[in-house]
Structure 1
Amino acid sequence: MKKILLLAAVAVMGLSAQAQEFRFGPKAGFAMSTIKIDDKQDDLNDRKMDPKYTFYIGGMAEYKFDDNFGVQAEILYSQLGGKEKIEETDGSGMYFGFQNKVTFGTLLVPISAKYFITEGLSVAAGTNFGIILSAKQKTVIGTNLPIGVEIDGVDGEGERDIKNEIKKLNIAPFVGVEYMLENGLFFDARYSFGVSNLSNDGSGGKITNSFAQVGVGFKFGGN
């Protein structure tokens, strides 16, 4: 009986070891980022900036516990943010407008749990821990007024550092889907929901950053 139990235990451990799988590799892709602003001191409450289109690049590591469940961790870099354009005209033909583009240079650390529907197709849910390394706002002012116009220290066109006005950590839960070919090439898509208030100016307003990502990568390793 002891021999039978020992053989059974060895067999189970062997199957378990065979099911476990570690893969790693590079990934890169396209990102669409938006910023939502709830400025308590502004009439434009709950306004959403237009999408900023950018790229991301980095690497990933995946560990499968069995045929259906696994975990994944990544390190990515992306210049997230948003942009907006405001224009005003009157009946006399006077025109005034400006464009703002906000860029957050962000180091992303996504950690997720994965469920494998088939060997190649999986869905994931997790959290993106974004570390904002830099924050800049570029403003372009346009007008046909005969006098110069200056807003927030920007005359005509300029860029300013807003890192002190933005918190360093952007926590964003996400859901996603991935499909991997037999050779290790994979394609994925996910959406990260901005829940962290990034405003650090003490005005009581709220700034959140959400973003979608579509990418491609390659996994090395496996059984």
Structure 2
Amino acid sequence: MKKLLLVASVVLMGVGVNAQEFRFGPKAGFAMSTMKIDDKQDDLGARKMSPKYTFYVGGMAEYKINDNFGLQAEVLYSPLGAKEKIDGINAGVVFVGEQTKVELGTILVPVSAKYFFTENISVAAGANFGVILTAKQKTVIGSDFINVGVVDEENNSGEIDIKKDIKKLNIAPFVGVEYMLENGLFFDARYSLGVSNLSNDGSGGKVTNSFAQIGVGFKFGGN
């Protein structure tokens, strides 16, 4: 993680003291995270898990090289992951269903190049370097003799640590757009496509994590 933070800092500092404009500040927002599993990873076959709606929070720094181009680096925290509901099979009088939630506590270091159409509107493209600090999975399996289709959480539930089965680095290229007001308040949206195989359980399968973010922040500094 220290190496990733150092790389992000060097990328920005490399622009030099002659940069036209430097801004920094906090940002936070809403994230929608999904996970994709191939057919080698799980007996249920290839599939995309349902979105996990979560948050992110952190800070950003931006060097504007000239009127049209700039560089930006951020450090964010987000509990990414996904969830899944598998319908049960009615075997006589017993109904069994399953709900699974995966949470990946991740430090994100997005580094991007920006193009400014105007002083207020810009687009960005870059990569998210995610360091997975924690990985947990909670599965609820239930049986109900009367209410078919309802998972009984008290029947069988528990959270397990799956960190050893998940690789630490999640690289996700992204594109985004930003709108900033004159006072420094800005709004942005981006989509990050997970390309790293996170599976570390020896199955030979592939698991990826992609996510979308919508947020707000404030930039201090400037000319």
TM-score scaled by structure 1?
0.85
Give matches, 1:102-181, under 5 Å: 102-144=102-144, 156-181=156-181
String of CA shifts for 1:98-151, please: whole Å, max 9, x gaps: 110000000000000000011000000000000000000011111126xxxxxx
Give matches, 1:73-88, under 5 Å: 73-88=73-88
1:64 maps to which residue? 64
When residues 76 and 144 of structure 1 are mapped into structure 2, their CA distance, relative to the original with a 3 A threshold, is same
When residues 163 and 42 of structure 1 are mapped into structure 2, their CA distance, relative to the original with a 3 A threshold, is closer
Give the Cα separation in 2 of the matches to 1:194 and 1:67.
31
Give the Cα separation in 1 of the matches to 2:192 and 2:46.
19
Quote how far apart the aligned CAs of 1:38 are: 1.1
**Percent of matched pairs sharing the same residue:** 76
Give the Cα separation in 2 of the matches to 1:190 and 1:142.
38
Is 1:37 matched with 2:31? no
Shifted more, 85-94 versus 42-51: the winner is 85-94
2:12 maps to which residue? none
Number of equivalent positions:
199
1:97 maps to which residue? 97
Give the Cα separation in 1 of the matches to 2:123 and 2:47.
32
1:7 maps to which residue? none
Maintained 8 Å contact 2:30/2:53: yes
String of CA shifts for 1:42-94, please: whole Å, max 9, x gaps: 44222111000000000000000000000000000000000000112337443
SS in 2 for 1:164: helix
2:24 maps to which residue? 24
SS in 2 for 1:101: strand
Consecutive unaligned residues in structure 2, runs of 5 or more: 1-16, 146-154
The structure 1 segments of at least 4 consecutive aligned residues displaced by more than 4 Å after TM superposition are: none
Give the Cα separation in 2 of the matches to 1:142 and 1:47.
23
What letter corresponds to residue 132 of structure 1 in structure 2?
Answer: I
TM-score scaled by structure 2?
0.85
When residues 107 and 159 of structure 1 are mapped into structure 2, their CA distance, relative to the original with a 3 A threshold, is same
Quote how far apart the aligned CAs of 1:219 are: 0.1
Give the Cα separation in 1 of the matches to 2:41 and 2:188.
40
Give the Cα separation in 2 of the matches to 1:41 and 1:81.
16
Maintained 8 Å contact 2:41/2:206: no
Give the Cα separation in 1 of the matches to 2:26 and 2:39.
39
Q: CA RMSD in A?
A: 1.8
Quote how far apart the aligned CAs of 1:41 are: 5.7
Maintained 8 Å contact 1:87/1:95: no
2:186 maps to which residue? 186
Consecutive unaligned residues in structure 1, runs of 5 or more: 1-15, 146-154
